[in-house]
Structure 1
Amino acid sequence: MGHVRKDSEHHEHLEPAKASAHSEASEASEAGNRSGSPVLSRRALLGAGAAALAVTTAQWTPLGRIAAASAATTIPAPPQFPSGIALYQQTFQNWSEEVLVEGLWSASPASPADVVTLANWAHANGWRLRPRGGGYSWSPLVTPAGTPANVLLVDSSNLTGISVNSAGAATGGASVTVQPGATMDTLLGTLKSAGLGFTGFPVIGAGTVGGALATGGRGTGVPAVGETRLPGHTYGSLSNLILSLTAVVWDPTQGAYTLRTFQRTDPQIQALLVNLGRVFVTQATLRVGPDQRLRCQSWFNVAATDLFAPPASAGSKSLASYVDQCGRVVCIWFPFTTSPWLRVFTPTPNQPWVSRAVTGPYDFTFNDIVPKNVSDLLSQIVAGDAAATPQFTAAQMDAISAGLIATGTWDIWGWSSDVLLYVRPTTLRITSTCCNVVTSRARVQQVVSDFYAQYSAKLAAYAAQGQYPMNAPLEIRVTGLDQPGDCAVPGALGAQLSPLRTRPDHPEWDTSVWFDMTTVPITPGCHQFMGEMETWFRSHYTGSYGAVHNEWPKEWANGPSGAWTDSAAIGEAIPASYTDGQAAGDGWNAAVATFTALDPNGVFGSPFLDRVLVPGS
C-alpha cells in the first residue's frame, strides 16, 4: 500500500466539526420531521420548467425504442441494412436533458465484428455512425440537436466484456481488458473482487468505460506529502493507464474498415487515448494496481474564506493544506453560503474506530432526496423569483448536513470504489461548465484563491442587478497530470487531447485544479455568466502561472446564446491550449490529422465534431 505521513495535529482542529455539523444537521432534520415535510427525487425536480416539480422517484433512462419491424416507426429504414444486427428507432437525450434529437435510428452490435460491418455499410450507403454509451454527459459529443437522419447511433450496451489479469499486481504488472459498453460500476466492482483498483475515476458509475476513456475521465487525487504512488496507479486520467486499444479504422490496402490494435508506443494512439468519440474503440487494456482502503471524512466548520484564503494568509485550514495532508479532496461550495462541504479521503489500511465501515458505493443516499422546503424554493426560482437563490443554496447545504448525520456517513471507511462512487443517475439534473488549471503544486492555493475572489465578485455583481445565474454547487478537485510512465510501458506516449497532458516547456507543472461550476439548466443568464468565467480563466492563468482546459463531457465555449457557441474559443483558444508548449507536430493538429488518416471518409464524425475537430491556426 502507499505510505502517507500521518499528522494527528492537523486533524485535531477538525474534530469539533462533527459536533457542530451534528447539532446543526440534527436541528434541520428534526425541523423537517416536525413539519412532516415529504421528500422527492432530485431527478423529479426538473423535467420541463415548473412542471418538473412533480413527485416521482423514477430513475433517468434513455427514451423508449421502437423496433425496425414495427409499424410504429416514423422514419424510413436505413437502406440495405445488414441482417443480424438489432435495429430500432429511439430518440436520443443526454443525461442533462439539454440535447434532444428525434428521428434517429440506433443499432446494437453484438460484437466488434458487427461494428466493422456497420462501418462498411455506412461508408457504402452515405451514412455516419456515432458511438453511444450511457449518455451521461452534458455535451453533444454523441450527437447534437439538428443531427441529420442519415446518422446511426451505435449502442455499445452489448459490448461489455471484462477480463482481469491480476498477475504481478504488487509490482505493477496487473491489467484489465474491457469493452466500451461496460459501466464503470461493473468494471470497478470486478476489479475490487480481484483486489485491484484505480486512484481516481468519474463518480457517476452508471457511465460507460468507453465514454470515460473518450473524454479523459478522471477523479480526484494527488500524492499527499510523504505518499508514494502505488504501482499500476496514476494520479491522472483513466486514459493514461491504457496499454493498448483496438479500434475500427480504415485500411487503405483493403479499401475497407477493419479492426486494428494500437500499442501505447504507437504515435497514432496519442489521438485515440482521448478521442471524443471520433473513432469507435471496441476494447482497451488498462494497467491496474492494488486496491486501497480509504477513509472519507466530511467537514462543515471550515469557512470558505479560510479554505480559499490567499497564500500569504492561508493556514492549516487552507485547501492546499488539506491536499498536502490527504492528497484526495473534494470541496463542494454552494453560492452565497459561508462554509463548503469538504470531504477528505485518506489512504487508511486499517479501520479507525470512529469510522463506519461501508461495503458498497453510493453511501450518501441523501444526494437523491430533496426536502420539501428545498423543492419549494426551486419552484419559486423556476417561477421567476430568482432572489430566492441564496435561500435555495443555503437549504441545499442544510439538507446535506442533515443527510450526513441521518445516514451516519460523516466518517466512513472502505475500498476505493466504495467511498469514491457517490453520484447516481437519480441526482439533481444540473448543467456544468468545468475548467481545469494546469499548474505547479506550489501554486494550488493561489489558483483557488484567485478563482474564489473572481467567482464571488461576479456572483455579487450579478445579484446587484437582480440576477442569480448560479444556483447549484461549485465543486473543486485537485488531480495529477497524465505522466505516461505511470502505465509502466517503456516509451509510452501521452494523449494529445487530454486536459491533463503535461507541458514539456513547463516541467514544474505537475498538478491540475478543477473548477466545476454548476447550475440548473433553465436558469436565466447562466451561459453568459459561465462564458465570462471561461474568458477570465484563459486570460488569468497564463504565462508561467498555468494553462487552462475545459472538461470535454461538460459545457464549454459558452456564450450568451448557449454552450458551444463561442466560435473564437472553438476555433482558436481551445486548439491552442492543446498545442502550446508541445513539441512541433505533436499537438491539436496532429490529433486531427490522425482522425482523418484513420477515418478519411468521416464515418465516425458528426456535424458537431466537424465544427470542432478542425486544424487550428
Structure 2
Amino acid sequence: MAEQGAAERGPDGLSRRRLLAASAAGGAVWLLRGTVGPESARAIGTAPVLPGGLVPYQQVYENWAGEIRTSPLWVCAPDSPQQVADLADWAAANGWRLRAQGQRHGWAPFTVAAGTPADTRVLLVDTTRSLTALSLASGFGGAGGRAVRAQTGASLEDLLAFLADQGLGVAACPAPGDLTVGGALAVGGHGTAVPAAGETPRPGQGFGSLSNQVLSLTAVVHDASAGRYVLRTFDRSEADAAAFLVHLGRAFLTEVVLRAAPDTRLRCLSRVDVPATELFAAPGSPAAGGGRTFADFLASTGRVEAIWFAFTDHPWLKTWQPAPDKPLFAHEVSAPYNYPFSDNLPQPVAELAGQLVSGSEQLAPVFGQLQFLITKIGLTGDVTDLLLAPGLLRSLLSGDTLTHLLAGGLRSDLWGASRHLLQYVRPTTLRVTANGYAIHCRRSDVQWVVSRFASSYQQVLATHQARGEYPMNGAAEIRVTGLDDPVACGVPGAQPPLLSALRPHADHPEWDTAVWLDLLTLPGTPGLHAFYREIEQELLGLFDGTRAGLRVEWSKGWAYTTDAAWADPAVLGRTVPATLRAPGAPGWDEAVATLDGYDPARVFGNPFLDALLR
C-alpha cells in the first residue's frame, strides 16, 4: 500500500503507519523529541535569559498519542521548588507563561495545544529531572495510616515502589507507571476499585482519585503583600486547598503529602469466557440471572475492569481481590507490567494498525478480532479460536508470532504485591486516542449504567458499519471507582477536590459510585471525531442527571465537534461547568476564583484554559 502524502505524515516525516509499527515494536521511535541547546545553530529564535542561571533548551512537545505536537519550544529543568517560584516572577514580569511538563502521557491540551509555534512566549518546566524526591512524611499520624512526601516530578512507578519498600500501597491507581505525581493529581488520576461486599477498608485506603489522598500540598502562588510568587503549603483542612487538588494545569504544585495504607497482596483473575450479552445484560433480564454480570463481579471483588475489543463478543474481564496468601494455582509476580502480549504487540498487529489509518479502515473488525485472539492466547494458551478463525487471522498469528505469545507464559491468574498488579500499561503499548466520561450513580445502578452504555454503543457501531464506516478499531474500557469522600483522607474539615470528576454531588447524595467509560481508537482513523461526538451526545442524553449524571474525564477526549475534540462551545462553556456546580455547595466557580486569586497574572495557564476556566 502506498504511503500517505506529506499532510498525513507524522513527526520528522515518518508516516503514521510507520509510527504505529514503531509503537508496537518498541515504542522508542514514536516520540522523537530532539533537544537543542540555546547556543546551537539549530535553535529557533533567541533564548530567554532565565533567573538563577537556569539554561533553557528547545524541545518539541509531543503527547502520548502523538496528536499534540508543537514546534520546538523553550524548556528548562529547575533544581529546586524555589527556582519554580523565581521562574514565575520572571514570567509575570516578562509576559511569559509557565507550563509544567512531566511524562506527557495525556490527551487533553492542558499543557500546550497542537501546533504551538516556536515564537510563543511559553516556557515548559520539566519536573522529571530534579523535582523527584520521595520520603516518608512525619507529623501526619493523626490521619490514620501513614504518609509519603512526594515532589511532583516523581513517577507513579517510583512512588508505588517507594511505598512498597515501606510496606505501604494504595487501593487503586492509574495503570500506566509513566505518569508524574503532579500530572496525575492535576487531572484527578484514578484506578478501579470500590470495597467488595462485606469488605472493610483499611486505614489510609481511599476509593476515589489520588487527589483525595492528599494531606497537604505546596504550590507556587502570588503573595500580594510581598508582591511576588512564593512557595506556600496548604493543609488539607484549608478551604482553598480544595481548588488545587485537581487544577487542570492552572496551578503549579511542587510537593504533596499523600496518605497511604498498609499494602495488601492482590489476586488478579482474567477471563474471556463471559459474553458481552451476559456481562452487560440489562438488570432483570434472563441473561442477567446467571451470576456473571458486571455488577455481580463488582459485588464479589470490588475491583473490576472490562476491555471490550470492537467487533468481538467476549470482553477481557479483569478482577482484583485482596488475597494475603498465594492461591494454589496462581502465578506469583515480582514486578509490574505482566501482560507482554499487550505491552509489546506483535509486528503483524502494528502493520495492520498502519493499514487502518492509511485507507483500509474496513479492516477494523479483523483488527478487533486479532486483538482478542492475542489476548486470549496470551492469557490462557488456548488456540482453539485461532484454528477456527478465517485464513487472514491464522496467517497473522502463525509461526514466530504464535510461538512468542505462547512463550510468555499464562497470565490469567496472577498474585503478588498490589503495585505489581495495579500497573500494567507500558510506554510500548500501542498508542491510541480515547474519549472519557465518569457516570455517577448509585452502586445498585451500576449494571443499569453499563447495560445502557453497551446497548447504545453497539447500536452506534452497527449504524456506522452498515454505512461502510469504521471509526472505532480499539476497545471500550469500563472501570468503577468510589467518589472523593473527604472523610477518606482522615483530615478534619477537608473538602473534596472541587474540580474532580469524582466530587460527590451535593444535590444527589444517593450517588456514591462512578462508572468510567472510555472508547479507544487509533489516531488518524477516518471519522473518529464525528463518531466520538455521536457517542458523547448519546451519553449526555442517557445520563442526564435524573437517574445518573455524566462528567468528563479530564485527561481524555471530550467536547467533540465532527472535526475535533475539546472544541464544542456548548459543552465547553455550559455542559462541563454545570456538572461541577450545585446549589449551596462550592464547585466550579469557587475553584476558578481561587486559582485566579493565587495567580492573577495567569502565569500558569494557556489559551485553552483561559477559555475553559472563565
Q: TM-score, normalised by structure 2?
A: 0.90
Matched, 1:48 2:25: no
Q: Describe how 1:167-206 pairs up with structure 2 within 5 A.
A: 172-206=144-178
Matched, 1:264 2:236: yes
Q: What's the counterpart of residue 459 of structure 2?
A: 457
Q: 1:90 aligns with which of 40, 47, 59?
A: 59
Q: What's the counterpart of residue 471 of structure 2?
A: 469
Q: 1:280 aligns with which of 223, 229, 252?
A: 252
Task: Measure the CA separation in 2 of the matches of 1:601 and 1:53.
Answer: 41
Aligned residues of 1:103 and 1:149 also touching (Cα < 8 A): no
Deviation at 1:230, TM superposition (A): 1.0
Q: Deviations over 1:100-140 (max 9, x none)?
A: 11131001000001001100111111111111111000111
Q: What SS does the aligned partner of 2:321 have? A: strand
Matched, 1:345 2:317: no
Q: What SS does the aligned partner of 1:103 have? A: strand
Q: Describe how 1:316-331 pairs up with structure 2 within 5 A.
A: 316-331=291-306
Matched, 1:596 2:592: no
Aligned residues of 1:167 and 1:174 also touching (Cα < 8 A): no
Task: Measure the CA separation in 2 of the matches of 1:185 and 1:389.
Answer: 33
Task: Measure the CA separation in 2 of the matches of 1:516 and 1:160.
Answer: 30
Task: Measure the CA separation in 2 of the matches of 1:607 and 1:549.
Answer: 22
Report runs of 4+ in structure 1 exceeding 6 Å deviation: 166-171
569-578 vs 365-374, which moves further = 365-374
Q: What's the counterpart of residue 395 of structure 2?
A: none
Deviation at 1:583, TM superposition (A): 2.4
Q: Deviations over 1:415-471 (max 9, x none)?
A: 111011000111101000011101100000000000000000000000000001110
Structure 1 residues 176 and 372 mapped into 2: Cα distance closer, same or farther (>3 Å)? closer
Q: 2:83 aligns with which of 83, 91, 114?
A: 114
Task: Measure the CA separation in 2 of the matches of 1:167 and 1:195.
Answer: 19
| Paired letter, 1:329 | V
Matched, 1:101 2:70: yes
Q: Deviations over 1:157-179 (max 9, x none)?
A: 11001111489989823101100
| Paired letter, 2:216 | S
Aligned residues of 1:224 and 1:326 also touching (Cα < 8 A): yes
Q: 2:94 aligns with which of 93, 115, 125?
A: 125
483-492 vs 165-174, which moves further = 165-174
Q: What's the counterpart of residue 357 of structure 2?
A: 382
Aligned residues of 1:292 and 1:415 also touching (Cα < 8 A): yes
Matched, 1:545 2:547: yes
Task: Measure the CA separation in 2 of the matches of 1:115 and 1:189.
Answer: 27
Matched, 1:607 2:607: yes
Task: Measure the CA separation in 2 of the matches of 1:543 and 1:100.
Answer: 36
Q: What SS does the aligned partner of 2:53 have? A: coil
Q: 2:179 aligns with which of 188, 193, 207?
A: 207
Q: What's the counterpart of residue 346 of structure 2?
A: 371
Q: What's the counterpart of residue 155 of structure 1?
A: 126
| Paired letter, 2:155 | T
Matched, 1:140 2:109: yes
Q: Deviations over 1:260-281 (max 9, x none)?
A: 1111121111110000111110
Q: What's the counterpart of residue 189 of structure 2?
A: 217
Aligned residues of 2:75 and 2:126 also touching (Cα < 8 A): yes
384-393 vs 564-573, which moves further = 384-393
Deviation at 1:379, TM superposition (A): 3.8
450-459 vs 264-273, which moves further = 264-273
| Paired letter, 1:516 | D
Q: Describe how 1:168-567 pairs up with structure 2 within 5 A.
A: 172-313=144-285, 314-315=288-289, 316-404=291-379, 405=381, 406=406, 407-567=409-569
Structure 1 residues 92 and 376 mapped into 2: Cα distance closer, same or farther (>3 Å)? closer
Task: Measure the CA separation in 1 of the matches of 2:346 and 2:83.
Answer: 47
Q: What SS does the aligned partner of 1:398 have? A: helix
Q: What's the counterpart of residue 583 of structure 1?
A: 584
| Paired letter, 2:299 | D
Task: Measure the CA separation in 2 of the matches of 1:185 and 1:390.
Answer: 34
Structure 1 residues 50 and 62 mapped into 2: Cα distance closer, same or farther (>3 Å)? closer
Fraction of identical pairs, as percent: 45
Aligned residues of 1:95 and 1:135 also touching (Cα < 8 A): yes
Structure 1 residues 598 and 223 mapped into 2: Cα distance closer, same or farther (>3 Å)? same
Deviation at 1:256, TM superposition (A): 0.5
| Paired letter, 2:45 | I
Query: Structure 1: where are the runs of 5+ without partners?
Result: 1-42
Q: What SS does the aligned partner of 1:102 have? A: strand
Task: Measure the CA separation in 2 of the matches of 1:378 and 1:603.
Answer: 40
| Paired letter, 1:457 | Q
Task: Measure the CA separation in 1 of the matches of 2:276 and 2:138.
Answer: 43
Deviation at 1:336, TM superposition (A): 1.0
Task: Measure the CA separation in 2 of the matches of 1:427 and 1:62.
Answer: 16
Q: What's the counterpart of residue 11 of structure 1?
A: none
Backbone CA RMSD of aligned residues? 1.9
Q: What's the counterpart of residue 20 of structure 1?
A: none
Deviation at 1:86, TM superposition (A): 3.1
Task: Measure the CA separation in 1 of the matches of 2:188 and 2:350.
Answer: 34
Structure 1 residues 252 and 446 mapped into 2: Cα distance closer, same or farther (>3 Å)? same
Deviation at 1:52, TM superposition (A): 3.0
| Paired letter, 1:466 | G
Task: Measure the CA separation in 2 of the matches of 1:136 and 1:544.
Answer: 34
Structure 1 residues 255 and 168 mapped into 2: Cα distance closer, same or farther (>3 Å)? closer
Task: Measure the CA separation in 1 of the matches of 2:154 and 2:280.
Answer: 38
| Paired letter, 1:458 | V
Query: Structure 2: where are the runs of 5+ without partners?
Result: 1-9, 382-405
Q: 2:43 aligns with which of 63, 68, 73?
A: 73
| Paired letter, 1:304 | A
Deviation at 1:83, TM superposition (A): 3.8
Aligned residues of 1:571 and 1:612 also touching (Cα < 8 A): yes
Deviation at 1:541, TM superposition (A): 0.9
Q: Deviations over 1:536-589 (max 9, x none)?
A: 21222123311111111111111111111111100000000000x3524x1211
Aligned residues of 2:137 and 2:257 also touching (Cα < 8 A): no
